[in-house]
Amino acid sequence: MKNILVFKHMSCQNPGIFRDYTVKQGINFVEIDLHAGDEIPDLTQFNGLWVMGGSMNVWEEDKYPWLIEEKQAILHAVKDLNMPFLGICLGHQLVAEALGGRAEKTDNYEVGLFGIEPTEEGLNHPLLKNFRKSDKWVNVHLVEVVEAPKGAVILATSGICQNHVMQLGEFAYSCQFHPEVCDHTLDGWLKIPGIPEAIEDLLGAGSLDYFKSSITENLPTNNAASLILFENWCNLVFNSSNTNY
């Protein structure tokens, strides 16, 4: 059994549908909530690290001081320990910042379902094996990685967001979209104070119902694609060449 440590920043931002896929891969998620005050344990006791999303921003260290230690832990995991890593949304932005890149708020926000396109480097990359360009992915972000860390490889993009999937080193990956979304994820998001109002402000009056229904209707397709992503990630990071994990 491989134990993957999961950094959460709120209870509703969790591994979601991936929890259903762990048994086949022999994986156990050990979830901690940094915003709730959980302490970061010794990373060497785990076989991988996932960093989930959240409504806070990567630069809000005064408001969320635990972000400082989290970035240090991410840097240690990816650079020093060469741990298998997956960052999602805020986690994508945090690993970029931790490794010397930059995330900023932009006008090119994505809220709803969006397709992504492999870059030239991503076309034949094992992480994107069996991906379909027709698949739509859930996005809720007003911030994007505008400068990737040195040595990072951008594997996928969209017409709005230039860096949607990124590889950092041998075993670390991250994505701006939300592959973890399942039936309870959306309900949790919409209970976050201010989120329903923010969606209506961004997409227009009366848009919340469409936002919910479109994502719900797409869930079977989304979850099938997420299983492919999960299997691809596991095959990449837990193979014979990664002897430390």
Residues with catalytic roles? 89, 178, 180
Closest alpha carbon to 3 in 45, 52, 51, 53: 45
Say what the pLDDT of residue 197 is: 86
Say what the pLDDT of residue 240 is: 47
- Relative to beta strand 48-51, strand 117-118 is unpaired
Say what the pLDDT of residue 245 is: 61
Distance CA(155)–CA(168), nearest Å, equals 11
Which domains does the chain show, CATH number per domain?
A: 2-237 (3.40.50.880)
**Mind listing the pLDDT tens digit for each residue in 13-39?**
899 999 999 998 999 999 999 999 999
Q: In what order do the strands lie in the sheet with 85-88?
A: 27-33, 2-8, 48-51, 85-88, 172-175, 165-168, 153-157, 117-118
**Mind listing the pLDDT tens digit for each residue in 219-229?**
999 999 999 99
Say what the pLDDT of residue 242 is: 52
Say what the pLDDT of residue 29 is: 97
- Percentage of the chain beyond pLDDT 90 is 76
Q: Quote the pTM value.
A: 0.94
Distance CA(48)–CA(121), nearest Å, equals 24
What is the DSSP secondary-structure string of 167-181? Answer: EETTTEEEESSBTT-
| CA distance from start to end of the chain | 11
**Sole residue written with tokens 């022999």:** 26
Below-70 pLDDT ranges, the chain = 240-245
